Amino acid sequence: MPTVDQIINRYVEAEGGRAAWQKLTSRETTGAIEVPSMSLSGTVEIHEKAPDRMLGVVTINGASFRQAFDGTVGWTDDPQDGLRELAGPELAETRRDADFFHPLNLRKLYTKLTVTGKVKIGERDAWVVEGALPEGGEPDKMYFDAQTGLTLRVISQHHGPDGVTMYQEDFEDYREVDGVKLPFTVHQKNGDTEMTITLSEVHHNVDVDDALFAKPAAQ
């Protein structure tokens, strides 16, 4: 069984290597989202800026769902719960998601990383690494392809207004963009809801105004 350091170092190299990632300052991503069980489809926009700013916008049937982190404050805005500022585990999860250099910072994002074994995901062998969270709770489980080193799956807990759900992401169709590898297809399971995000365009090192990530004023 490989060590945590061997798996993580190989993962960083598989994703393009530290030097390639450190050349990037921002990312603009667009794509489509499908929710088959509800016969819904829509669009996805993700705006990211190093080191830790992120805004994700999902638009389905004219309704907009936004989640953001501005480096300090995390917030969401959606038709059901309105504009909310995040706190506790929900804020911690959003802060981790907003880390622009996430592949390089796994050792900083988790208090302990442990290799727990090897499993099959489809036809692929994957090493399982559990990451203990600073805020406690169930650890994140990360599944790294034993052959390529890339992430195949991540299982984590997601906190929200309605409680805690198990959240699974499966990553496919890795493509190289400006020296780093990114998954262009992401299958997500959040509780009983399944959806697929398919990216169409990714642009790096574009100008992104910090104001984009700021929590809007209450209406």
Helices (H) and strands (E) in the chain, counts: 4, 13
**What type of residue sits at position 90?**
E
Count Cα neighbours of 212 within 13 Å in the Cβ-side half-sphere. Answer: 16
* pLDDT the model gives residue 162: 85
Question: Which residue in 66, 14, 50 sits closest to 204, CA to CA?
Answer: 50
Cβ contacts of residue 164 below 8 Å, gap of 6+?
A: 157, 158
Which of the four pLDDT bands, split at 50, 70 and 90, describes residue 218? confident
Q: Which CATH superfamily is domain 4-201 in?
A: Lipoprotein localisation LolA/LolB/LppX (2.50.20.10)
Summarised one tens digit per residue, pLDDT across range 142-186 is 999 999 999 999 999 999 888 899 999 999 999 999 999 999 999
Per-residue pLDDT band for 113 (boundaries 50, 70, 90) equals very high
Which DSSP category does 137 fall into?
A: S
Residue 219 has pLDDT above 80, yes or no: no
User: From CA 92, how far away is CA 78, in angstroms rounded?
Assistant: 20
Mean pLDDT throughout 123-133? 97
Mean pLDDT of the chain: 96
pTM greater than the 0.85 cutoff = yes
pLDDT tens per residue across span 34-86: 999 999 999 999 999 999 999 999 999 999 999 999 999 999 999 999 999 99
pLDDT in tens, 4-17: 999 999 999 999 99
